[in-house]
Amino acid sequence: MIVDILVGFFSAILAAMGVGGGGLLVVYLTVFKNVSQLTAQGINLIYFLPSASISVFSRRKKLFSDWKTVLVMCLTGTAASVAASLFVGHISAKILKVIFGALLVFAGVYQFAKSLKKSDAKESKEEKKRKMRLR
């Protein structure tokens, strides 16, 4: 039980940071707790809610400054998600998973390479120039 709590806690930290933990909880549940894939996904969905809610709430000011875009994204994303799961069903798409998995690996490597170029500065050079001009 202590392990459950620790795994839940650490994956929730990653979830709140927006990095998702790669479905660590799902892996833990299916591999170590013998939970079925579908139930593990369900538990993952429910457990995600407190963590994500708190994170979104703490970032509410930054999100609120662009609330129309965020709202539209939430609506389109949710509608697409529900439509896909109802009409397409969970295609036992091994091929789809492989293609998507490859896309993720590529995206991860690309993003990592991008991060190597990012500077440590809190502001970008353009921001600094703009502020200098305004003085």
Partner 1 sequence: MNGKTKALLSAGCAAVSGAINGMLGAGGGILLVVALDIIYGGENDSFKKAVSGTLAVTLCMSVAAAVIYLVKGNVKLSDAYIYLIPSALGGIAGAKILEKINAKWLCRIFSVLVVFAGARMIF
Q: Which of residues 71-100 bind partner 1 (CB under 8 A)?
A: 72-86, 88, 90-91, 93, 96-98, 100
Interacting positions 28-47 with partner 1 (CB under 8 A) = 35, 38-39, 41-47
5 binds partner 1 (CB under 8 A): yes
Residue 59, helix vs strand vs coil: coil
Q: Which of 32, 34, 53, 133 binds partner 1 (CB under 8 A)?
A: 53
Q: 20: Cβ–Cβ under 8 A, 6 or more apart, which residues?
A: 14
Q: Choose between 97 and 131: whose C-beta lies nearer to partner 1.
A: 97
133 binds partner 1 (CB under 8 A): no
Q: Which of 32, 58, 129, 130 binds partner 1 (CB under 8 A)?
A: 58
Distance between first and last Cα of the chain = 59
Residue 45, helix vs strand vs coil: helix
122 binds partner 1 (CB under 8 A): yes
Tell me which residue has tokens 């709590």.
5
Q: How many CB atoms are closer than 10 A to CB 14?
A: 15
Q: Choose between 88 and 134: whose C-beta lies nearer to partner 1.
A: 88
Q: How far apart are CA 36 and CA 29, in angstroms?
A: 8
